A and B are shown apart, each in its own frame.
Chain A
Amino acid sequence: MIASGKAVLVPGTNIDTDVLYPGIYLNIDDPELMKPYLFEGLDPSLRDQLSGDTVLVVGENFGMGSSREHVPLAMKAWGVRCVIGSSFARIFYRNCINLALPAITCPQAAQAAEPGSQIAVDAATGKVVVDGQEFSALPVPPFMLEMLDRGGLISWAQYKLSQPRS
């Protein structure tokens, strides 16, 4: 899967899901309606930088805490194409993969990116290009790659349901 876009930097380590999407807004289940609350507890002005083709650049242990899928759902609804980080918390990572939002581990690229940098990522080869400079990401395991290529767990389930039951 290939993704590209303009960098928006989310500074800090151990950024938790509560600051990314505060609990009080968890009674919303429509991704479009989640959009206004993304980054609410961290820095609401980050939302102003999001465009239809954004690559979020994040630090270590990004997305720790809750299983709330509101975070990647709101990111997707805003047009985030990919998240590049130094490392990811487990549930956030799998939520991204399930929603076909590539979460790419590449500390060097995350370091090199500046606000507005043009970033392109090839999840299959692990090649990350930041303003023309090339980096190699931790390879995405084959299963996760297949999930991304198929369009996430929803398409995966649709496919499985279309197969004759064994």
Chain B
Amino acid sequence: MGYTIAEKILLNHCDADHVEPGQVVMVRCEVVLANDVTGPLAFRQMEKMGTSEVFDRSKIVMVADHFAPAKDERSAILIKRLKEWSLEHGVAFYDQGRGGIEHNLIIQEGWVVPGSVIVGGDSHTCTHGALGAFSSGLGSTDIAYSLIFGEFWEAVPGTIQITVSGEKGRFVTGKDVILAVISQIGAGGGTDNVLEFVGPGTKSLSIDERLAISNLAIEAGSETGIFPADETTAAYLDGRTETKWEAVHSDPDASYSRQLKVDFDRLEPLVAKPHNPENVVPVSEVAGMPIHQVVVGNCANGTLTDLRQAAQMVQGKRVHERTRMIVVPATQKIYREAIEEGLVDTLVEAGASISTPTCGPCFGGHTGALAPGENSITTTNRNFKGRAGSPDACVYLANAFVAAAAAVAGEIVDPAGVIS
């Protein structure tokens, strides 16, 4: 019996000579990642474990993104702690103004290569599967352990294979692929499994779009969402990293816990209604819903591709008077590129506010919380009750075309009605 890509990568990173779903193995990792929320908590746990020594300082990355820029004293203390610890241990540290949202940042900076194992103190560490890596979101105690030993315990997951086919429609993006998957299997349907994306339709997906797909794997309960590396991956990594890598693919006789299909030819822009990402409907079904805030940003859809889509939508138009539009480039580099391309100008002219790269409005942390009774449509990944401020606010999830179209219309609309 053959192995899936996830099983192969795990096999390459542990001492077992065979792996199968459910088996527990210790897995070595190439990158250990944490942020201003999970990092300081991990350092506390490390102290309790009885050491401050790390396994390999060249494999550790700390990013200030959740509460950066600090919203209050308590947040400032966490960021200070993260920075001081990083300097003291000689590990990579990205401060505000030099980094961005951790997942987009470390991919952009060449930390992630196909076939590698990434662990992060953040559930959206699953994003790194977009480059063909095995990536796992962990809590702070796990991260403490990984910082010391360079490994983590892992119950080998099963694999759900998703075959993507067909031609993408005008306003359909990677976000719609993953929303379609989540609606098919449900918020817990991918638990103890990874998602693996294959098929001719994956060829039309850029790395930016794959990021969104892998990123929301956790919204189906999955550990990660893997795209086996192809020419798109190789082109993206060219000049970005010196690390040697080899593409890993599933064996033809690998066994899957489930196989699904997503056909672009039958896919339209989708929206996940409050308060669970599995509540997915076509945009037409929620058209007319008044919108008070639009957020284009976060680790799923704050890429240059998303900013381009949003700018295209609002070009020469005004954000509706009922609506606020917040745009958060995921990294400092994306921010600069958006300035160079004139996207920032287009967005600001339309009435959008542009934020420095941060997690802020995505998790209700700061800058962009919602009042009771307000509706927001965002390109983020979670619409849980209270996720973005008041528990009596409603968050709808969509791609950047749909979100930006709602900013212009002041209500949810089919983007085709805003530009043709």
What's the A-B contact tally at a CB cutoff of 8 Å?
A: 138
Q: A26-B365, A29-B78, A157-B49 are in contact. Are A65 and B382 (CB under 8 A)?
A: yes
Task: Look across to chain A and name the residue whose beta carbon is closest to the beta carbon of B26.
Answer: A143
A161 CA to B53 CA, complexed, in Å: 11
Q: A27-B75, A65-B382, A141-B24 are in contact. Are A41 and B188 (CB under 8 A)?
A: no
Determine whether A54 belongs to the interface, using a CB cutoff of 8 Å to chain B: no
Q: A27-B75, A69-B139, A98-B142 are in contact. Are A154 and B45 (CB under 8 A)?
A: yes
How many of chain A's residues have a CB under 8 angstroms from any CB in B? 44
Q: Determine whether the beta carbon of A160 is less than 8 Å from that of B386.
A: no
- Interface membership of chain A positions 11-31, coded 1 if the CB is closer than 8 angstroms to chain B and 0 otherwise: 000101011001110111100
Q: Determine whether the beta carbon of B142 is less than 8 Å from that of A94.
A: yes
A23 CA to B140 CA, complexed, in Å: 16
Q: A141-B22, A157-B149 are in contact. Are A18 and B385 (CB under 8 A)?
A: yes
Q: A29-B78, A158-B50 are in contact. Are A91 and B148 (CB under 8 A)?
A: no
Of the candidates B148, B188, B278, the one whose C-beta lies within 8 Å of that of A157 is: B148
Q: Determine whether the beta carbon of A154 is less than 8 Å from that of B365.
A: no
Q: A27-B67, A91-B139 are in contact. Are A66 and B221 (CB under 8 A)?
A: no
Most buried by A among B72, B125, B141, B221: B141
A143 CA to B148 CA, complexed, in Å: 20
Q: A41-B385, A143-B153, A154-B45 are in contact. Are A28 and B148 (CB under 8 A)?
A: no
Q: Determine whether the beta carbon of B145 is less than 8 Å from that of A27.
A: no
Determine whether A129 belongs to the interface, using a CB cutoff of 8 Å to chain B: no
Of the candidates A66, A144, A160, A161, the one whose C-beta lies within 8 Å of that of B123 is: A66
Least CB distance, A104 to chain B, in whole angstroms = 16
Q: Determine whether the beta carbon of B191 is less than 8 Å from that of A89.
A: yes
Q: Determine whether the beta carbon of B141 is less than 8 Å from that of A95.
A: yes
Determine whether A77 belongs to the interface, using a CB cutoff of 8 Å to chain B: no
Q: Determine whether the beta carbon of A67 is less than 8 Å from that of B121.
A: yes
Most buried by A among B121, B137, B188: B188
Contact size range, B: 35 or more
| 7 intermolecular pairs with C-beta atoms under 8 Å apart | A18-B364, A24-B364, A66-B123, A68-B38, A88-B191, A91-B138, A141-B155
Determine whether A1 belongs to the interface, using a CB cutoff of 8 Å to chain B: no
Q: Determine whether the beta carbon of A22 is less than 8 Å from that of B139.
A: no
Q: Determine whether the beta carbon of A143 is less than 8 Å from that of B24.
A: yes
Q: Determine whether the beta carbon of B139 is less than 8 Å from that of A27.
A: no
Q: Which of B189-231 contact A (CB under 8 A)?
A: 191-192, 218, 221, 223
Task: Please name all residues of chain A whose beta carbon is closer than 8 Å to the beta carbon of B29 when the two chains form the complex.
Answer: none
Determine whether B41 belongs to the interface, using a CB cutoff of 8 Å to chain A: yes
A70 CA to B141 CA, complexed, in Å: 11
Task: Look across to chain A and name the residue whose beta carbon is closest to the beta carbon of B79.
Answer: A27
Task: Please name all residues of chain A whose beta carbon is closer than 8 Å to the beta carbon of B276 when the two chains form the complex.
Answer: 14, 16
